[in-house]
Structures are given as structure tokens and as C-alpha cells.
């Protein structure tokens, strides 16, 4: 996959997708698989904004039972299984525990009833043959058993816990990238750091987009029969000046998760009740409880999510130290025995989600419940333009399908039908993942250790030979990056040559997982920058600037 801006400027496309978050890349993959000539552009790096803000969970939608939204539950459960099938190296079951108490809706019987309903709604959750993807039925445990999963956890009226299964993603950034690489294999042209700055029109017909290369400042045009605006929190920015309805399609709210550098619990994620309070303008205080999600992920624990309304510019947003401290206080009260301190927090994920408004009593953000696909021909009499607002990572593929269905309908072309539900992504040619890992660990090319081989199996799946083949070029590329026991130098070279990494942050945060949990340290940053410098012709000044930019990412405002 190459960044070829000249080709973008000189090709007539069927479809231009603006925005390469998970919704944009799923749309591009579907359209390319159905035979459309597709261009995919992203103003920053692929998957670097909202899609990068993640608990690494793929939700089946248990919480939708509260609203009796069975349709949405079914969609989520189905899409969870689809992702396990098309990306078997990246998505796998995750057991979740929630403490129960001796009062009404939080009791063991009430939770068991809810989980039984969840199992019934998800009756077909085990439609895959791979034992690694098996989703056991839900059950409850006693109060004494809770300590095995949540050491030291005690709360008034605690009488046990409920356990069910959801899914976790080993690397959400690689999952998003897998969609792009798959689309590119089918002929799509993708480019990061290319920003839409206006629509091209012939009367009321959109004919493409005017764009800017944000790395050089150069502008050019991309021509296409249709444009899908998948810009996420920037969806209204793309439409600014193009539609006259002044409608806000993405009302901004922030979502923040924190990363702890140790496993707080053993094997299970946990939904734990924590305190919540909101101070009104008149000084009155609303106090209540909310569920905090603790998710074990490799050697870390990710805890979320803190939701707040946001009224500023998207580009100005950054997680603040005050927000971290405030959320940490709630985390400490929710699970005091975990003894989580500020120095345990090695990273934080902050991004935007669309909200429907705020609760006037509690001040809590009310998130938008349903995705929206806007046909601007019907809404604004502008032909050739569709905008999409997604609400959930898990269901992006399904929304992408519905978007491309509409594109074919509007183009009046014969639709060959969606195939993304059953077509595996790049790296997904694996039938039984546990066997695949075992075989590759035993094979250990270049005498690579078990941790390295497992890392390659998860991140690259059946495409891991793309990385190990670099040993034929230079065996030194089979060495790990300083401060990492898993990431190979070859991964950095591959990221530049074949995965369009343009900046050091692209490699540290999204092509590899060197920086997913914490700053990998100056030695690692210098080593990776040096490799990239050789590939991209950076001088020492550029290397230092790239390192400084990465370091700032780990510093709150």
C-alpha cells in the first residue's frame, strides 16, 4: 500500500470516502469488495482520532436490555461474531464479572435473569467452528468466589457476582488498518494526511473533493461520482458551507479512558459501581453511581469511561490532568483494594462520541443511541453526497454495508451484494487460532522467542511472514526494538514501506503497539526514528522533532 497522491489526482473514482476511522475504512473495504473504484482519505493518520480511543472491547450490547432494544442487541452480538470470524487473530472472547448485592435490581437473581435473557437473545453467538472463539453461557458466583477475580473487593451488601462473555481486541489500531490493507488489495487507493477542504460540484451534483496534503500544504482535486462523508466528529466540518440547513449531525462529547501499568484483576474484566457527582451552576450537587469498566489488556488494565459534554474546537481538545485526577478519585472509591495511584497511570485515551444532550438533573452525557446515514439528496437536494454518523465501534462493518447499499442504489448500478460478513481481512486466513499460534511458536524462524512469535501471530495473523521475510534482507531486522521484548525492527521498516507510516507517532501508536500502553522510552523512540530516517531521508533535526511530538502525546494538558 503506497501513498500515491498523483494517482489520486488523476483517477476517476466511483466513490470517495472522507475519513478513515473504523466506519470509513469498513465502508471503503465493502465498496472495494463489491467492485467499486474507491479512494479513501484521512486528514491525519488512519484511525488516529475517535477510533483510537478504545477500551479494546467489542461489545455484544448487554446494556441494551435496559431499554429492551433487542434489535440493537442482535446487531451487536452478530457483528461481534463476524469480527471474530473475519479477524480471528485480533478478536477473541473476554469474560466479564459484575458484583451483585442484596437489593432488588442489583441482586444475583435480577442479574441472572438479565444474563439469561442475554444468552437467549444471543442464541447463535457460537456460530464459529474455532474453539478459541467459544462464548460460554452466563452464570453467577458466590460472595467468597468474587475474591478470586477481584482481590480485596468489598462493598456493603455484596452477595456475589454475575459472569458473562464479551470480546476483546488485541490491537484495535491493527484491526482498522486490516480493513484498509484489505481494501487496497481489492484496488482501493488510500492516503493519510490528506484533508478534505471543500466539495467539487457541478450544479447540485457533487463531483469530488478538493483536498490538502497536510504534510506539504499542497492542494489538489479528487474526482468521483459519489462522496461518503465518514469524518466522525468532523462530519459537520466537511459539510460546512456546503449545506444550508445548519443542522448539527455530531454533537460533541468527550470520552476518556486511563491505562494502568499492571493487571489490577486476574483474568476477567469487571463492571464495578463507582461514585458520580455533578455540580450545577447554582452550586447544588447531584450524587449517584455509575458503572466503571476495568479491562485487563496484556500487562495493563484499561479503565473507563469518563464522559463529558464539549463545546470547543475538535483540534483544541486534549485530556487534562484535572480530568484524570477527578476520574482517578472515582476509580479509587469504586475499587479501593486495587490501590491505584496517579503514578500507575501510564497513558490515557481521549476522543469524541456523539451525544443527544445532557440529563438536566444529573448533568450526565446522554450518548446518541443509533447511527445515522444522511442522504443529502433527500435532505438538502445535493446529489452524490452521503454523510454517516456512527455510535459504536462493534457495528461499523454493518453500517458500512448499509452505506454501500445506499451508494449502489443512488448510482443505479447492479449491486453484486455485500461480502464483508464472510470475507476475512488481511491476516485472517486462520481456521483454528490456538493451533496457528502453536505451530508458529514451534517454527520460530530466525530463532525468534515465544513472546515475539505470539506477538506476530496476534498483530499480523496469517500475514506474519510479511515481517519475518525481512530477515532475508538483513537478519538484524529480526532484533527487537530497545525496551521491547516483542516488537521487531522489521515491523518499523514494513510500516514505512507497505503501511504508509509517515510519522514516528504512526509507528509507535498505530502500526506497532510499542506505545499503546505507555511511552516506550527515549531509547526506543530514538531507535525507531533512526530506522525511519533511513527509509524516509530524515535528518537529525526531523528525528528530534518527531520524538518531541510523540513525547507530548503522553503529557496531559
Q: Report the CATH number that the domain containing residue 190 is assigned in CATH.
A: 3.50.50.60
For residue range 390-433, list pLDDT tens digits in order: 999 999 999 999 999 999 999 999 999 999 999 999 999 999 99
Same-domain check for residues 126 and 106: yes
The predicted pLDDT at position 241 comes to: 86
Domain residues for the domain of 528 are 433-553
**How many structural domains is the chain composed of?**
3
* Residue 197 CA: distances (Å) to CA of 104, 212, 234, 241, 445: 54, 7, 12, 10, 47
Same-domain check for residues 43 and 190: yes
The predicted pLDDT at position 427 comes to: 98
Same-domain check for residues 219 and 328: no
What is this structure's pTM? 0.96
Is residue 425, in this structure, part of any structural domain at all? Answer: no
Same-domain check for residues 245 and 383: yes
Is 40 in contact with 11 (CB distance < 8 Å)?
A: no
Q: How far apart are CA 546 and CA 540, in angstroms?
A: 10
Which residues of the chain fall below pLDDT 70? 104
Question: In sequence order, what DSSP letters do the residues of 174-235 get, joined into one string?
Answer: HHHHHHHHHHHHTT-EEESSEEEEEEEEETTEEEEEEEEETTT--EEEEEEEEEEE--GGGH
> Which of 411, 444, 476 lies at the terminal end of a domain, its last residue?
411
For residue range 290-339, list pLDDT tens digits in order: 999 999 999 999 999 999 999 999 999 999 999 999 999 999 999 999 99
Is residue 57, in this structure, part of any structural domain at all? Answer: no
List the one residue out of 414, 289, 345 whose CA is nearest residue 554: 345
Same-domain check for residues 35 and 180: yes
Same-domain check for residues 540 and 449: yes
Is residue 304, in this structure, part of any structural domain at all? Answer: yes
Cell digits for 289?
453511581
Q: Report the CATH number that the domain containing residue 471 is assigned in CATH.
A: 1.10.8
Is residue 399, in this structure, part of any structural domain at all? Answer: yes
Is residue 384, in this structure, part of any structural domain at all? Answer: yes
Q: Report the CATH number that the domain containing residue 272 is assigned in CATH.
A: 3.30.9.10
The predicted pLDDT at position 206 comes to: 97
Same-domain check for residues 406 and 326: no
Q: How far apart are CA 118 and CA 66, in angstroms?
A: 11
Is residue 501, in this structure, part of any structural domain at all? Answer: yes
The predicted pLDDT at position 65 comes to: 75
Same-domain check for residues 399 and 388: yes
List the one residue out of 482, 543, 487 whose CA is nearest residue 171: 487
Q: How far apart are CA 289 and CA 274, in angstroms?
A: 5
Q: How far apart are CA 238 and CA 119, in angstroms?
A: 41
The predicted pLDDT at position 335 comes to: 96
Beta partners for 198? Answer: 210
The DSSP output letter for 515 is T
Is residue 417, in this structure, part of any structural domain at all? Answer: no
Same-domain check for residues 386 and 459: no
Is 201 in contact with 210 (CB distance < 8 Å)?
A: no
Same-domain check for residues 178 and 47: yes
Is residue 68, in this structure, part of any structural domain at all? Answer: no
The predicted pLDDT at position 66 comes to: 73
Q: How far apart are CA 250 and CA 549, in angstroms?
A: 29
Is 166 in contact with 94 (CB distance < 8 Å)?
A: yes
The predicted pLDDT at position 20 comes to: 97
Same-domain check for residues 143 and 183: no
> Which of 347, 379, 411 lies at the terminal end of a domain, its last residue?
411
* Residue 141 CA: distances (Å) to CA of 87, 112, 157, 397: 32, 10, 15, 35
Same-domain check for residues 362 and 374: no
Amino acid at each position: 500500500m503506497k501513498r500515491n497522491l498523483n494517482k489520486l489526482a488523476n483517477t476517476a473514482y466511483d466513490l470517495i470516502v472522507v475519513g478513515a476511522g473504523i466506519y470509513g475504512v469498513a465502508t471503503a473495504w465493502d465498496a472495494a469488495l463489491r467492485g467499486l473504484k474507491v479512494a479513501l482519505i484521512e486528514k491525519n493518520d488512519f484511525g488516529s482520532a475517535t477510533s483510537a480511543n478504545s477500551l479494546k472491547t467489542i461489545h455484544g450490547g448487554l446494556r441494551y436490555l435496559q431499554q429492551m432494544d433487542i434489535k440493537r442487541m442482535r446487531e451487536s452480538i452478530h457483528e461481534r461474531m463476524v469480527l471474530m470470524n473475519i479477524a480471528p487473530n485480533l478478536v477473541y472472547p473476554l469474560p466479564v464479572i459484575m458484583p451483585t448485592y442484596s437489593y432488588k435490581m442489583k441482586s444475583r437473581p435480577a442479574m441472572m435473569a438479565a444474563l439469561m435473557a442475554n444468552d437467549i437473545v444471543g442464541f447463535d453467538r457460537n456460530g464459529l467452528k474455532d474453539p478459541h472463539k467459544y462464548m460460554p453461557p452466563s452464570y453467577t458466583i458466590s460472595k467468597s468466589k468474587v475474591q478470586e477475580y477481584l482481590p480485596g473487593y468489598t462493598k456493603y451488601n455484596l452477595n456475589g457476582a454475575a459472569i458473562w462473555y464479551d470480546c476483546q481486541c488485541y490491537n484495535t489500531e491493527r484491526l482498522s488498518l486490516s480493513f484498509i490493507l484489505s481494501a487496497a488489495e481489492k484496488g482501493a487507493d488510500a492516503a493519510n494526511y490528506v484533508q478534505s477542504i471543500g466539495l467539487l460540484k457541478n450544479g447540485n451534483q457533487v463531483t469530488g473533493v478538493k483536498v490538502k496534503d497536510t504534510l506539504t500544504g499542497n492542494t489538489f482535486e479528487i474526482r468521483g461520482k459519489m462522496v461518503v462523508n465518514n469524518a466522525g466528529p468532523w462530519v459537520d466540518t466537511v459539510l460546512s458551507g456546503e449545506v444550508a440547513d445548519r443542522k448539527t449531525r455530531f454533537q460533541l462529547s468527550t470520552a476518556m479512558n486511563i491505562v494502568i501499568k499492571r493487571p489490577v484483576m486476574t483474568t476477567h474484566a469487571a463492571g464495578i459501581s463507582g461514585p458520580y457527582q455533578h455540580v450545577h451552576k447554582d452550586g447544588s450537587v447531584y450524587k449517584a453511581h455509575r458503572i466503571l469498566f476495568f479491562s485487563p489488556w496484556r500487562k495493563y488494565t484499561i479503565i473507563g469511561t469518563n464522559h463529558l459534554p464539549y463545546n470547543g474546537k475538535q483540534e483544541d481538545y486534549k485530556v487534562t490532568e484535572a480530568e484524570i485526577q477527578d476520574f482517578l478519585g472515582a476509580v479509587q472509591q469504586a475499587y479501593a483494594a486495587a490501590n491505584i495511584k496517579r503514578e500507575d497511570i501510564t497513558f490515557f485515551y481521549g476522543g469524541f462520541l456523539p451525544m443527544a444532550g445532557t440529563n438536566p438533573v444529573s448533568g450526565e452525557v446522554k450518548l446518541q443511541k443509533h447511527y445515522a446515514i444522511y442522504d443529502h439528496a433527500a435532505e438538502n437536494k445535493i446529489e452524490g453526497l452521503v454523510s454517516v454518523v456512527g455510535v459504536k465501534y462493534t457495528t461499523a462493518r454493518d453500517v458500512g454495508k448499509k452505506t454501500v447499499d445506499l451508494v449502489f442504489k443512488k448510482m443505479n448500478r447492479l449491486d453484486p451484494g455485500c461480502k464483508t460478513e464472510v470475507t476475512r481481512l488481511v491476516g485472517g486466513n486462520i481456521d483454528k487460532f490456538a493451533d496457528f499460534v502453536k505451530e508458529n511458536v514451534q517454527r520460530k524462524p530466525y530463532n525468534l522467542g515465544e513472546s515475539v512469535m505470539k506477538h506476530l501471530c496476534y498483530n499480523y495473523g496469517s500475514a506474519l511472514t510479511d515481517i519475518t521475510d525481512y530477515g532475508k534482507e538483513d537478519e538484524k531486522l529480526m532484533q527487537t526494538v530497545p525496551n521491547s521484548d516483542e516488537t521487531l525492527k522489521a515491523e518499523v521498516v514494513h510500516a514505512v514501506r507497505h503501511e504508509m507510516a509517515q510519522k514516528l507517532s504512526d509507528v509507535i501508536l498505530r502500526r506497532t503497539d510499542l506505545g499503546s500502553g505507555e511511552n516506550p522510552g527515549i531509547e526506543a523512540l530514538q531507535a525507531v526514528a533512526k530506522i525511519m530516517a533511513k527509509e524516509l531521508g530524515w535528518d537529525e533535526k526531523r528525528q528530534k522533532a518527531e520524538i518531541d511530538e510523540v513525547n507530548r502525546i503522553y503529557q496531559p494538558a
